[in-house]
Structure 1
Amino acid sequence: MSTMRSLFAALVAVVAATQPAAADVCYKGVNLSGAEYGDRDGVENLNFTYPSEKTVAYFAGKGMNIVRLPFSWERLQPTLNSPLSAVELDRLKAAVLRLRDHGMTVLLDPHSFGYYDKARLGTPEAPAFAFADLWIRLAAEFANEPDVLFGLMNEPYDIPATEWLDMANGAISGIRSVGARNLVLVPGTRWSGAHGWRADDPGGSNADVMRGVKDPIDNYAYEFHQYMDPDSSGTKGGCAAADAATAALIDVTAWLRETGKKGFLGEFGGSQDQACVVGLKAMTAVLDDNADAWLGFSYWAAGEWWPETEINNVQPTGKGDRKQLSGLPLKPGRKPDAAACATIPPA
């Protein structure tokens, strides 16, 4: 424990000593979960749900300006390499419009963990070109909308980094092929965890391999996830690894400066325990204190169907706000600087 505290203190000192004070990050928001539930034949509001007007208005009123919007790849594209479902696409577009009407930027998130049905990407059942095909079709629908970002995939975890890099580059190439210049967020493999970014597993580390991202217009950033429970899964109670989680963000901040790119913390969270609230403040402070290297964050998670007992839940209840919100540096009424936070580069 003393060794971890010493390492943590040293990392804080290094980053603080090398960086001038910066403005807050551009984007502060939440994952609104629900549309990723159910199978391709699910019934809306029975097997899955998109964010309601009430929920969107609540989080916008708290000062959040971005929503990571998980959805089901299988329901949006029921057959690989085929047209998107018109019905599901209309639902997705309606949700995006609802969010935009409240001043929210939307991060589109195929919440599939690097799988289609039960087939891993890169296998004969789910070939890599099918992933590019999804993004060609999806990008064409949202091309050059400045408040829509493209998150390539939620937490690919069973794919060697070298193989995942090729898939990510293929998807980016497909996005650009239809003229879409939107900002693309690129995760790493192994759940895109900040704590394991430099881990040298078979296929190489994310830190080494993901430097090879290729984008013809160079408009991409890296997406990281990080939790504070002992195994960094976000599924356990308490925040025993809060210091380690903060240290992991400091470490990838240094890596982002090495690469000259920016990062986005797509998932993080904790319970209502005071230790978790303190941990949330520490993690988000790393981002705000190093806004030259970070775009922002989206907390995991909220949504109408999340039970009150769910550990990370910040959906309001009859008792009022969840305690985790007090750990997030939200400023109601704050608008991000349009120039500094631009997501569509000049043509």
Structure 2
Amino acid sequence: MFKGVNLSGAEFGSRKLPGKMYFNYIYPSTQEVQFFLDEGMNTFRLPFKWERIQNEMYGELNKKELSKIRDLVDYITQQNAYIILDVHNYARYYGKRIGDPELPIDAFSDLWAKLAAEFTNNDHVMLGLMNEPKGMETEVWLNAANAAIKSIREQGNYSTILVPGNGYTGAHSWHSNWYGTPNSEVLRHIEDPEDNYLIEAHQYFDGNSSGTSDQCVSETVGVSRLVAFTEWLQETGQKGFLGEFGVADNLVCLAALANMLEYIRNNDDAWEGWTYWSAGPWWGNYMFELPKEDTIKLEAIKGYL
């Protein structure tokens, strides 16, 4: 399985776009990568902003940003670990929504054509199409995802692609319709000529699954919120990846975390892996942070590496 952590920082400062590196946002260091490699992790999800890697619609990629990403790609993959390039934009670009007249779908596929061309011939680079699409028709998101996949493959890039659902890609709401047609209906129709993609879901354990509280509903909430999504994966023959989940340091949440990771391990016919949310240099006192030190939270996760 892919097992690891999100390394945050490059997606920070979203109110200042593109913003100033080291002032509004920062890339994680190779030292942080090495710490988690030494702890036994093998996968790193790297969130970054579309507006920073491509400053103008249809424009060339920003060389400074690309260099920072490439440094992490090289460091991680040379140690036989995996990196997920995560466009962390909620299906937006400078506030415009993918599929609207101001941001046509082919602008999104243009981004991915250019990113894919930079990272061909490295099967340890995984391509995360978009973090948590929201506020759009699920069918529009599917069309955008399929267009991006087509562009990626046309560049000769055969890497694993992570495809999220609509409505923040919550596992618990995979069959819901509050965000539009349920993901469970629409995401059956992903088109990848290489058939090398994973369905990315996210899941938190608080009352509304938003990840904004340090309190977890119960010790079994992580499992119960994954069951229907897991059964959908098994029924459709698709594979899942849990891109985000996080807990605070309390006994109920730590138990929920352990129970969920055990459930994923026991359902490896459906699940390909996970990345915890989150680590990185600028979190401060964030309740879900996975710090670079031995903690009860890190020890709980290490039991499933």
Q: TM-score, normalised by structure 2?
A: 0.95
Q: Does 1:323 pair with 2:296? A: yes
CA distance in 2, matches of 1:197, 1:278: 24
Query: Which residue of the partner structure matches residue 25 of structure 2?
Result: 48
- Alpha-carbon distance, 1:157 to partner: 1.1
Q: Write the mapping of 1:306-345 to structure 2, written as runs, cut at 5 A.
A: 306-307=283-284, 309-316=285-292, 320-330=293-303
Q: Does 1:28 pair with 2:12? A: no
CA distance in 1, matches of 2:218, 2:199: 23
Greater alpha carbon shift after TM alignment, 163-172 vs 39-48: 39-48
Give SS of 2:225's match: helix
- Structure 1 gap segments, 5+ residues each: 1-25, 333-347
Residues 17, 94 of structure 2: 8 Å contact kept: no
Amino acid at match of 1:209: V
Amino acid at match of 1:274: L
Q: Write the mapping of 1:278-289 to structure 2, written as runs, cut at 5 A.
A: 278-289=255-266
Amino acid at match of 2:172: H
Give SS of 2:201's match: strand
Point out which structure has higher relative CO (alpha carbons under 8 A, 6+ apart).
Answer: 1
- Alpha-carbon distance, 1:155 to partner: 0.3
Amino acid at match of 1:31: N
CA distance in 2, matches of 1:321, 1:45: 27
- Which whole-Å deviations, capped at 9, do the CAs of 1:217-243 have from their partners, x for residues lacking one? 211110000000111111112112553
Give SS of 2:200's match: strand
Q: Write the mapping of 1:266-277 to structure 2, written as runs, cut at 5 A.
A: 266-277=243-254
Query: Which residue of the partner structure matches residue 182 of structure 2?
Result: 205
CA distance in 2, matches of 1:210, 1:242: 30
Amino acid at match of 1:75: R
Amino acid at match of 2:238: K
Give SS of 1:195's match: coil
- Alpha-carbon distance, 1:164 to partner: 0.7
Amino acid at match of 1:182: S
Q: Write the mapping of 1:1-347 to structure 2, written as runs, cut at 5 A.
A: 26-38=1-13, 39-201=16-178, 203-307=180-284, 309-316=285-292, 320-330=293-303
- Which whole-Å deviations, capped at 9, do the CAs of 1:25-62 have from their partners, x for residues lacking one? x1110000001123444332222111112211111111
Residues 230, 239 of structure 1: 8 Å contact kept: yes
- Structure 2 gap segments, 5+ residues each: none
CA distance in 1, matches of 2:10, 2:219: 30
Greater alpha carbon shift after TM alignment, 121-130 vs 60-69: 121-130
Q: TM-score, normalised by structure 1?
A: 0.84
CA distance in 2, matches of 1:204, 1:192: 13
CA distance in 1, matches of 2:82, 2:172: 27
Residues 193, 226 of structure 1: 8 Å contact kept: yes
Which 4+ runs in 1 deviate beyond 4 A? 329-332
- CA shift in 2, pair 1:238/1:331, >3 Å: closer
RMSD: 1.5
CA distance in 1, matches of 2:175, 2:163: 16
CA distance in 1, matches of 2:92, 2:165: 15
